[in-house]
Structure 1
Amino acid sequence: MTSVTEKKWWHNAVVYQIYPRSFMDTNGDGVGDLAGIIEKLDYLQTLGINVIWLSPVFRSPMDDNGYDISDYQDIAAEFGTLAEMEQLIAEAARRDIRILMDLVVNHTSDEHPWFIEARKSKDNPYRDYYVWRSPAADGGPPNDYRSHFGGSGWEYDEATQEYYLHQFTRRQPDLNWENPKVQQEVHQMMNWWLDKGIGGFRMDVIDLIGKEVDKQIMANGANLHPLLQQMNRATFGQRDVLTVGETWSATPEIARLYSDPAREELSMVFQFEHIIQTWDAKLGKWRSKPFELLTFKSVIDKWQTGLAECGWNSLFWNNHDLPRAVSKFGDPDRYRIESAKLLATVLHGLKGTPYIYQGEEIGMTNVRFDNIEAYRDVESHNRYQEFLASGVSHEEMMAGIYANGRDNARTPVQWNDQPNAGFTRGEPWIGVNANYHEINVAAALHDPDSIFYHYQRLIQLRKEHDILVYGDYQMLLADHPQLFAYQRTLGDRWLLVIGNFSGDPLELDLPEGLQHLSGECLSANYAPRDGWQEKLAMQPWEAFMLMLRRP
């Protein structure tokens, strides 16, 4: 029996993330824009999604591609105008699609008026909107805190002779959330957007706003959850919207604090434990470890069971910061289509709200540019220089960028086989993946057996079968090194999901309880199957969902 006490519209929703810079360009400047998103709303309606998570489109100098905001209540000129943003909200609503804005409030741009004022003098009214500290005794930074993007997390301000904190680039100064005025300003801005009819917020690195700077406790600080509860009361708590927090530091126990409805914080969080399983202990994502299904399954299982009684899971393989799903977890060379469909099947059968990243629905892959100069991501460039200086070779750093660099997700959406994949008639801001002649939306829409239509079917299934939304989850065959199998149960209904995470066929003697089963095949990436006897035979990267009849 489901533990969800109150059903929400976002429980059976599927969210589609758009990285606007790379989605669709209509004016030929090489940068995707709001008009391009409006133009493709019918495509997204055909796919069947309910929500668009829109990466930041606010005014920004684009030091970190929009995650450095200089005006929360205006739109960056390269994306369009505030009027076009309002048009997008309205046009999406006409298609029963809600817009999720990206809330970036751990930090601002150094061009935000607050920071421009703050650095004028130590007694400026906006000074305490940010985190400032005096130099250490030797004149250096206050402590040895390192930025997530490399180098010191402190930047010296010559005019006032103090350092300000930046957890990301030096042009992204951290806001001081201990200041009630910062809280009030952010809440006012959030309500301004909510009043425009948006469907909620994706909250960028929200686990960092409760930081205890002098203790170097940056994530999950003591004041984090009180701040979120206060935000809930002041803004979205009484509105029927979706809120999802980006929380790299979350455990299932912490995630329950965020998403237990009784605590009145967020709808759900993004956790990344399944993502970092392939990261090296020393160099992190810049040196990959082999993918191990047993470890991966145990992480998914931990989160499915950990949030079963309260809270809610977000389900995703990739986003704007991560490599392409089929390149990371599938087989992009030999079984791209089959493994992309498997990944979709296994993810959309789990309990939680699925997220699709643009291009995932056609099986877009990682990119391999010839040289570091072709990459645009500030993190990749900073880490490349830092690690080379420490003795890591150029070849090893490029291998890390090829595997996990953020630009893998940021090459333009491949709409057709025309120049620049139909993304722009100008020069694209970043190179297009060379495989766009074979992998593109136009080809997918003309192929009834494409990855696109597989996703479309899975999205529809969540609307037709509440067992996929509210059914209890249980892992099966937990020790099998190739199979990812689990069941969902709701009342007298029983759904089985099985995927072969391997390029090898297999035949398995099934244990009691999984023998002599039959039912209705809801989804399959090979020929549909209606059951089996004592043995289960599976093709490379085969996956299916079977609604079972009790024996």
Structure 2
Amino acid sequence: MKRTWWHDKVAYQIYPKSFYDTNDDGIGDIRGIIEKLDYLKMLGIDIIWVSPIYQSPFVDQGYDISDYYAIDPAFGTMNDLEELLEETKKRDMYLIMDLVVNHCSNQHEWFQKALKDPEGEYGQYFYLRKGKEGHPPSGNYRSYFGGSVWEPIEGTEYYYFHAFAKEQPDLNWTNPKVRKEIYRMINWWLEKGVAGFRIDAIINIKKDLDFPDMEPDGKDGLVSYTKFVESVEGVEEMLQELKQQTFAKYDAFTIAELFNEQKAVKEYIGAEGCFSTIFDFGPHLLTLGEHGWYDAKPVDFKEWRKTIFEGQLKCGDIGFEANIIENHDEPRGVNTYLPPHAQNDAGKKMLATVAIMLRGLPFLYQGQEIGMENCRMESVEEYNDINTKDQYQLARSMGLSEEEALLCCYRLSRDNARTPMQWSEEKNAGFTKGVPWLRVNPNYHRINIESQIRSEDSLFSYYKELIALRKSAKYQEVLTYGEIVPEALKDTELLEDHSDRDVIAFSRRGDGKKILIAANFGTDEVCLSLKNIQKITVLVSNMKEVFYQGGELRLRSCEAVVLEII
């Protein structure tokens, strides 16, 4: 694997609307990010991904872009953004932005021109098709946000294609003019000093232009759009052209949102891959129901453990994936991956231990470092997220009561991760002196940054300790490039078989070192038999005392340890 500048870094996602508000309008802004850079530096963050701040009508929280070259006034100005770039560089930090180029906003100049002349130049920037006797064209796909992917253009016989909301028309990547415009825009941002991009929904850019009908999977006569995406071949050719025309010229860091796993990892990451890295969404896929949130089951620990190891091992020595437990599109990880008995401080530290010690790029999401939790809403009207409203209605249509449908939203809504950052015990968690755009989680009196920074025993301090260990001169090599060996699925060199227990254990090996990470997600204490051990050194523990004697490592419920093994 070719070594590169970002391999030993730690990344952090900021959702600007909910991060920190400096002008008291209830919406976070760029100046709020600038003010908190020293906080992120103190935590140990190197790379900052800022979710969309481009001009947008905000139908889908900024992922519907109406001008790729403009900052939305809600967040500030281009001067603010340029100052943010300067301030990150002063701190040896890197700023990456969201790149949303599968689709744009229906308010974008290109689409407005296409509406006026569907058969003209800009009509070719999108997928416009004539309907069939008053019905949509072929392609009976259900959009990601529900309903048909085809939307009629009023006053014409044309329909346009949208994989997401109807306000997000898909761009026609088969049109060389569209690709040229996209590449020009990307290079403009890279010239401005952006270090790279998180690339949104990029697998969707390749279409089968015949848009064939597929077997319906629901009573609406539609089929999940995901099945259409998975049936299309050749997206890698488009992605390689994108890379060569933009990112490769600037040694830019790119991280892609990809869900389809039928392609080899080497197509996507590594020296010859399309991107620097991709997120490991394997754990997230375990949270999904077959038809929606209403039939989603809680994550099974052993399935989660298996999925974690599969994601780690599939990369081999090709490259790194990015390890996450939450982001702006997912509920909070502590509510998702921790069993009820472990949703406490010890359990949160245990989950942090696993996440930060895995091989790959650690990627934190704002509030994760203090253990922010899902937020209960009293009615569906309190939610802002378009997907949540759709899933709520789907749940009700399937016979769930209002209470049951709201419980689905509490477990799985994207708004769980979008509630305002909890900075202090002050009103509105110190996020704003105005009226916050989304409800503040009322538990901010108990969970906030100000109190955790003051405590050496807090989750924030624990994350700092884990990150510092990864970056330490003595252990950086093994914790960055060392191989990962699962120690929880079979009888191994280090541990006797304990795969029937709710324990996850793995070692990191390299640079002449062996580091064992073990965590007990169960309710009962367990004893792990270590083999051929001369000495252990405790590097990190989420409890005050580690019990090891005579080759037996005793782990209490919710206990996690990082040990150097000799």
Which whole-Å CA distance do the structure 2 matches of 1:136 and 1:510 have between them?
68
Cα separation, 1, equivalents of 2:18 and 2:340: 21
CA-to-partner distance for each residue in 1:170-209, whole Å, 9 max, x for gaps? 0000111111111111110000010111111000011111
1:542 and 2:559 correspond: yes
- Give the Å deviation of 1:330: 2.0
User: Structure 2: how far apart are the matches of 1:546 and 1:509?
Assistant: 13
- Residue 173, structure 1, aligned to residue 169, structure 2: yes
Whole-angstrom distance in 2 between the partners of 1:530 and 1:333: 22
Unaligned runs of 5+ in 1: none
Aligned mates of 2:545, 2:43 — CA distance in 1: 22
Deviation at 1:119, TM superposition (A): 1.0
Q: Write the letter of the residue equivalent to 1:537.
A: R
Check if 1:325 corresponds to 2:333.
yes
Q: How does 1:25-36 map to 2 (within 5 A)?
A: 25-36=21-32
CA positional deviation for 1:391: 3.3
In structure 2, the partner of 1:309 is 317
Q: Secondary structure at the match of 2:374?
A: coil
Match of residue 261 from structure 2? 250
Q: How far, CA to CA, are the matches of 2:94 and 2:145 in structure 1?
A: 32
Aligned equivalent of 2:69: 73
Task: Within 5 Å, give how 1:511-550 maps onto structure 2.
Answer: 512-513=531-532, 516-529=533-546, 531-549=548-566
Identity of aligned residues (%): 39
Distance 1:280 1:389 in 2: 16
Tell me what 1:112 maps to: 108
State which drifts further: 533-542 or 218-227: 218-227
Correspondence 1:260 to 2:254: no
Counterpart check, 1:133 vs 2:129: yes
Q: SS state of the match for residue 247, structure 2?
A: coil
2:402 corresponding residue in structure 1: 394
Question: CA offsets per residue over residues 21-74 of structure 1, 9 Å max, x none?
Answer: 000001111000001011111101111100111000000000001000000111
User: What residue in structure 2 maps to residue 230 of structure 1?
Assistant: 241
2:365 equivalent to 1:353: no
Q: SS state of the match for residue 73, structure 1?
A: strand
The aligned counterpart of 1:441 is 449
Alignment of 1:22 with 2:26, yes or no, is no
Aligned to 1:496: 516
- Pick closer, same or farther for the CA change 1:10–1:484 going to 2, 3 Å: same
1:484 matched to 2:504: yes
- Are the counterparts in 1 of residues 14 and 48 from structure 2 also a CA contact under 8 Å? yes
User: The residue matched to 1:52 in structure 2 has which SS?
Assistant: strand
Q: Which residue of 1 aligns with 2:82?
A: 86
Aligned residue among 444, 450, 470 for 2:481: 470
Q: Would the aligned equivalents of 1:250 and 1:271 in 2 still touch at CA under 8 Å?
A: no
Farther off after superposition, 92-101 or 60-69: 92-101
Give the Cα separation in 1 of the matches to 2:90 and 2:173.
37
Contact 2:280–2:323 (8 Å) recurs in 1: no
AA partner of residue 420 (structure 2): P
1:363 is aligned with what amino acid?
Answer: G
Q: Does 1:406 align with 2:414?
A: yes
How far residue 276 of structure 1 moved from its aligned partner, in angstroms, is: 1.9
How far apart are the structure 1 equivalents of 2:30 and 2:102? Answer: 25
Deviation at 1:400, TM superposition (A): 1.1
Kindly state the Cα deviation for residue 10 of structure 1 after the two structures are TM-superposed: 1.2
Q: How far does residue 309 in structure 1 lie from its aligned partner after superposition?
A: 2.6
Mapped partners of 1:358, 1:224: distance in 2: 32
Tell me the SS of whatever aligns to 2:282: coil
SS at structure 1 position matched to 2:85: helix
Contact 2:530–2:553 (Cα < 8 Å) also in 1: no
Q: Distance in 1 between matches of 2:116 and 2:234?
A: 29
Question: In structure 2, what residue type is equivalent to 1:205?
Answer: A
Q: After superposing the two structures, state which structure 1 stretch, 179-188 or 294-303, moved more.
A: 294-303
Range with bigger deviation, 191-200 or 274-283: 274-283
Report the count of equivalent residues: 539
Q: Does residue 240 of structure 1 match 2:251? A: yes
Distance 1:375 1:461 in 2: 39
Of 110-119 and 540-549, the range deviating more from structure 2: 540-549
The change in CA–CA distance for 1:527 and 1:143 in structure 2 (over 3 A counts) is same
- CA 1:509–1:31: 2 relative to 1, 3 Å: closer
Aligned CA distance change for structure 1 residues 333 and 474 (closer, same or farther; 3 Å): closer
The CA RMSD over aligned residues, in Å, is: 1.7
Shift in Å, 1:389: 3.2
Shift of 1:141: 4.7
The answer for the alignment partner of 2:217 in structure 1 is none
> Does the 8 Å CA contact 1:119/1:159 hold for their aligned counterparts?
no
Q: TM-score, normalised by structure 1?
A: 0.94
Please state if 1:341 is matched with 2:349: yes
Structure 1 residues 342, 55: closer, same or farther in 2, change over 3 A?
same
Which amino acid letter does the alignment assign opposite residue 350 of structure 1?
A: L
How far the C-alpha of 1:106 sits from its partner, in A, is 0.5
1:275 Cα deviation (Å)? 1.2
2:425 to 417, 424, 429: 417
Q: CA deviation at 1:303?
A: 1.5
**2:206 corresponds to:** 210
Distance 1:13 1:180 in 2: 36
Conserved 8 A contact 1:134-1:142: no
Task: Check the 8 A contact 1:100/1:200 in 2, yes or no.
Answer: yes
Q: Does structure 2 retain, via aligned residues, the 8 Å contact 1:521–1:528? A: no
Q: Distance in 2 between matches of 1:95 and 1:132?
A: 47
Asked whether the equivalents of residues 278 and 288 of structure 1 are also in contact (C-alpha less than 8 Å), the reply is yes
Instruction: Work out whether residues 21 and 33 of structure 1, in 8 Å CA contact, stay in contact via their aligned partners in 2.
Output: yes
CA distance in 1, matches of 2:54, 2:534: 53
For residues 223-267 of structure 1, the C-alpha deviation after alignment (integer angstroms, 9 at most, x for no partner) is 31111110111111132221011012235x43321103124x101
AA at the equivalent of 1:496 = L
User: Structure 1 471/334 Cα, relative in aligned 2: closer, same or farther at 3 Å?
Assistant: closer
Give the C-alpha shift of residue 331 in structure 1.
5.2
User: Tell me, which stretches of 5 or more residues in structure 2 are unaligned?
Assistant: 214-227, 490-498
1:363 is aligned to 371
Aligned to 1:38: 34
Shift in alpha-carbon separation, 1:153–1:393, aligned structure 2, 3 A: farther
Given that residues 342 and 348 in structure 2 are in contact (C-alpha distance below 8 angstroms), is that contact kept between their aligned partners in structure 1?
no
Out of 140, 143, 152, the position equivalent to 2:139 is: 143
CA deviation after TM superposition for structure 1 residue 528, in Å: 5.0
**Alignment-derived partner of residue 280 in structure 2:** 271
SS of 2:89's partner is helix
Q: Alignment partner for residue 507 of structure 1, among 526, 529, 534?
A: 526
Q: Deviations over 1:271-290 (max 9, x none)?
A: 3221121332232x443313
The answer to whether the 8 Å contact 1:279/1:286 transfers is: no
Q: Is the 8 A contact 2:547 2:555 kept in 1?
A: no
Question: Quick check: 1:246–1:269 contact (8 Å CA) kept in 2?
Answer: yes
